[in-house]
Amino acid sequence: MSVPDSEGAAPRKALVTPPEAAGQRLDQWLAAALEGELSRSRIQALIRGGHVTVSGRPAHEPKRKLAGGETVAVTVPEAEPAEPQGEAIPLDILYEDSHLIVIDKPAGLVVHPGAGNWTGTLVNALIAHCGDTLSGIGGVKRPGIVHRLDKETSGVMVVAKTDQAHRALADAFADHGASGSLERAYSALVWGAPERMNATIDAALGRSTRDRTRRAVVNAGREDARHAVTRYSVSEMFGGASPEGALAALVDCRLETGRTHQIRVHMAHIGHPLIGDPEYGLAFRTKANRLAEPARSIAAAFPRQALHARLLAFEHPATGETMRFETALPADMAGLVRALRDLPRS
């Protein structure tokens, strides 16, 4: 139950531990008792910060063993101001409520501040847009990023506004939809066309030995190897009626795992890198010379990897409803598709 604390302080939850709680860790028991309201890491931070009392005394130690019959009080302080600061950056909002926000991210927008991109990011934009509707992720008024898109990848993203939503969505993405309704689909424009129209790429990914900022297909036994599975289907071929004659293709990719650069590396691994990919498709740039105009010029100058997160479905963390969002190809990819469709067919 919630009871008023001392004047001016945040409200607290007071719970009485049952006899069967004897011997349990304080942080573990609280995480279960609060039924997902706070993550275990958040509860541990509150305990260490003196915001949890047992029988009226601050606990301080998450591993403290309970005896049963104690009164455990949890005070959740007001969320601290967000770092970084909000910036008025336009957002294409597909859906928003008090728990989460869904946006169609444009190419060129970095998701999270980092080296070389400390401002002008999606997080800066969300802090400014959401304002006081952010109840605090880990005690800070900030959006909860549960998945990311590369800077130059466009498409649908969901972001949490509360600790509870952040935990539920993070769990869904962590198990890649194995126990829920999570679904992710991407549209990719690739050089050539895969021999098989529908297939699964099951190839572990790790850091490239040539460039640590890049990923590569590696032996599954390597220490840094991460299981990675992409299902793809060829939606359309351009410049040829068969995979042998096609110059390019539109491919639908479905993620069973979510590794950094997964689709880009997997498609390059099978010999069909994304058009415009500056890291994994650079050796294929000359393929544009085989195209007729205007497709040749558009493909040669395409400024990014031609990848769009077109579909995202997930279970709403509060209502349990399946939310499904799908967006059309952005203007740059749509223009390239039109030009490729005009190619003579061999």
The b-or-e profile of 165-197 (16+ CB within 10 A means b, else e) is bbbbbbbbbeebbeebebebbbbbbbbbbbeee
DSSP state of 78: P
DSSP state of 165: H
Residue that the structure tokens 């890291």 belong to:
279
Nearest residue to 288 (alpha-carbon basis) of 278, 273, 298, 274: 298
Give the tokens for residue 105.
Answer: 């991210």
The b-or-e profile of 26-48 (16+ CB within 10 A means b, else e) is bbebbbebbeebbbeebbbbbbe
Q: What are phi and psi of 261, to 5 degrees?
A: 60, 25
Whether omega for the bond prior to residue 84 falls within 30 degrees of 0, making it cis, is yes
Residue that the structure tokens 């019959």 belong to:
69
Give the tokens for residue 238.
Answer: 């351009």
CA Rg value for the chain: 24
Residue 277 annotated as catalytic: no
How many residues would you count in the chain?
346
Out of 104, 150, 163, 277, pick the active-site residue.
Answer: 150
Dihedral sign for Cα atoms in the order 34, 36, 40, 42: negative
Q: Which residues are catalytic?
A: 150
